[in-house]
Amino acid sequence: MDGEEFRKAGYAAIDEICKYYETLPARKVVSDVEPGYLASLLPTSMPDSGEAWSQIQSDIEDKIVPGLTHWQHPNFLAFFPANATFPGILGDMYSTAFTCAAFNWICSPAVTELETIVLDWLARALSLPSCYLSAAHGGGVIQGSASEALVTVMVAARDRYLDRFGEDRRKKAEARGRLMAFGSEMTHSSTLKAALICGVEYRTIPVEEGTWRLRGEALKKAIDEAREEGWIPFFLTATIGTTATCAVDAVDAIAEWKQQEGNDDVWIHVDAAYAGAALILPEYQHLTPPLAHFDSFDMNMHKWLLTPFDASCLFVRERKHLIDALSVTPSYLRNKASESGRVIDYRDWQVPLGRRFRGLKVWFVMRTYGLAGLREHVRRTIELGEGFAANIRTRDDLFEIIAPPAYALTVFTVRSPDPEVMSDNELTKKVYERINLDGEFFLTHSVVGGQDVIRVVGGSPQLRKEHLDRCFEVVVKFAEDVSKEVTE
């Protein structure tokens, strides 16, 4: 494909993408293909000779789109949102056009410098304590996912703990075998995965019934017990916005406990993958001062903050710990700029070496919407979520809200008219399965405190009140249908 062909194909692709967005509401949100559908539509090996773009392009609508679940659809109310927007798409387009695996500053100074600047902008917008800014000892780096960020900081936490043994490798090895990471029962599974990758033990701490958040007393008890058993607690994930209910762990009490500890034994990481976006709103910024006592914070702009996947924004209080743990410098990676100490080499802040120009889409999104536009988006979707929860409350004969509606998320169960015939759990599951099978809406199911629950969360710029009102009608209809079957 030469430049002229690319120009034509590019215009056609943009046209097709715009048409896709315009026709989204008319599409079924969930893909209903059967497993293996694509293999029956495609040849078993790559073509011998190259094909014309027109041939390739026509396969997108015919063969690929049927196998897509439409995350940008306003009726996608499952998991957490993953917003794509046009400025973000343009950012990725330029990033791909420039393709530079900018692991060192020298590889493309603009990639590193723009990333540092936009993450400082973000830290200020989220009101993170100033220790997380690049002008202090901290700074931000864009990772591919919150899970990747967790592995990265857990390695740094492990090495920070073990560094106290200096060159004594025997003591280091002995302590390494006793390291234990902590999360709550509601902490996302990515902390467990990071512990598996780091080869350390992992223990969960019970949350408070009803609020589903980690409290300071439970944390202290769990850490004391583990120490008595001979384990070395070295890492804790505190969450702002848990996956199941968007609960916020007691960050003020955790900060108080950390101050009482009076040392840096336990690295505290704040996982705000989804709900961190709400920290751009002044009414949520009371949550951030305790973060000055913690070690790292991560939020995904690619969930709720109008930036296409991937842009997981990790901030650390002391970048030194990342660099100490992750810097491996063979001769081919050395250069004068790095040795000058005046530049950031992001390869030392992450697991991979090469990296994409992700700062560009973040920059485009921030400039297109501005802080006011981003705030309007988050506040609007929170209010829509509260409206949905208010509708659910009007039918307390049918539904029970399990956690206070938070960050646009509503979590509820369906009440069984006769628990001896069908339990609330069974009925809730049945209702949820029927809704998703029907395909007009896509919702997620979860388990909270042993109860099967339905989660409804919408954070898309396409979302309007009418979509959530219709979702309420659909949920009521299926709940009434299944309830009727129980009593018949």
Distance CA 202, CA 206 (A): 14
Question: Binding segment for ligand PLP among 111-119, 140-148, 222-230, 344-352 (CB under 6 A)?
Answer: 140-148
Tell me which amino acid residue 419 is: P
Joined together, the tokens standing for residue 276 give 């961190």
CB of 387 to ligand PLP, least distance (A): 23
From candidates 243, 296, 350, 483, binder to ligand PLP by CB under 6 A: 243
From candidates 273, 374, 414, 422, binder to ligand PLP by CB under 6 A: 273
Task: Decide: is 271 part of the binding site for ligand PLP (CB under 6 A).
Answer: yes
Tell me which amino acid residue 136 is: A
Task: Decide: is 146 part of the binding site for ligand PLP (CB under 6 A).
Answer: yes
CB of 65 to ligand PLP, least distance (A): 23
Measured from the CB atom, the residue of 115 and 249 that comes closer to ligand PLP is: 249
N- to C-terminal Cα distance for the chain?
65
Task: Decide: is 307 part of the binding site for ligand PLP (CB under 6 A).
Answer: no
Q: How far is CA 378 from the centre of its chain?
A: 15
From candidates 31, 95, 145, 462, binder to ligand PLP by CB under 6 A: 145
User: Are 436 and 30 within 8 A, CB to CB?
Assistant: yes
Q: Which helix (H) or strand (E) holds 178?
A: none
Measured from the CB atom, the residue of 85 and 104 that comes closer to ligand PLP is: 85
Measured from the CB atom, the residue of 188 and 319 that comes closer to ligand PLP is: 188
Task: Decide: is 455 part of the binding site for ligand PLP (CB under 6 A).
Answer: no
Task: Decide: is 319 part of the binding site for ligand PLP (CB under 6 A).
Answer: no
Task: Decide: is 348 part of the binding site for ligand PLP (CB under 6 A).
Answer: no
Task: Decide: is 483 part of the binding site for ligand PLP (CB under 6 A).
Answer: no
CB of 351 to ligand PLP, least distance (A): 13
Distance CA 459, CA 306 (A): 9
Task: Decide: is 442 part of the binding site for ligand PLP (CB under 6 A).
Answer: no
CB of 272 to ligand PLP, least distance (A): 7
Render 230-296 in DSSP notation, one character per residue. T-EEEEEEEEBS-TTT--B--HHHHHHHHHHHTSSSSEEEEE-TTGGGGGGSGGGGGGSGGGGGSSE
User: Are 205 and 215 within 8 A, CB to CB?
Assistant: no
Measured from the CB atom, the residue of 190 and 350 that comes closer to ligand PLP is: 190
Task: Decide: is 274 part of the binding site for ligand PLP (CB under 6 A).
Answer: yes
Beta strands in 31-75 (DSSP E): none
Question: Binding segment for ligand PLP among 143-151, 251-259, 363-371, 378-386 (CB under 6 A)?
Answer: 143-151
Beta-carbon count within 10 A of 411 CB: 27
CB of 312 to ligand PLP, least distance (A): 5
Measured from the CB atom, the residue of 53 and 79 that comes closer to ligand PLP is: 79
**Nearest 5°: CA angle at 280, between 295 and 115?**
60
From candidates 83, 190, 245, 410, binder to ligand PLP by CB under 6 A: 190
Q: Which of 407, 488, 411, 406 is nearest to 451 (CA)?
A: 411
CB of 80 to ligand PLP, least distance (A): 5
Kindly list the strands in the beta sheet with 312-316, ordered across the sheet, starting from the edge strand earlier in the chain: 139-143, 312-316, 296-300, 267-271, 232-239, 179-184, 201-205
Where along the sequence are the contacts to ligand PLP (CB under 6 A)?
A: 80, 145-147, 188, 190, 239, 241-243, 271, 273-274, 300, 312
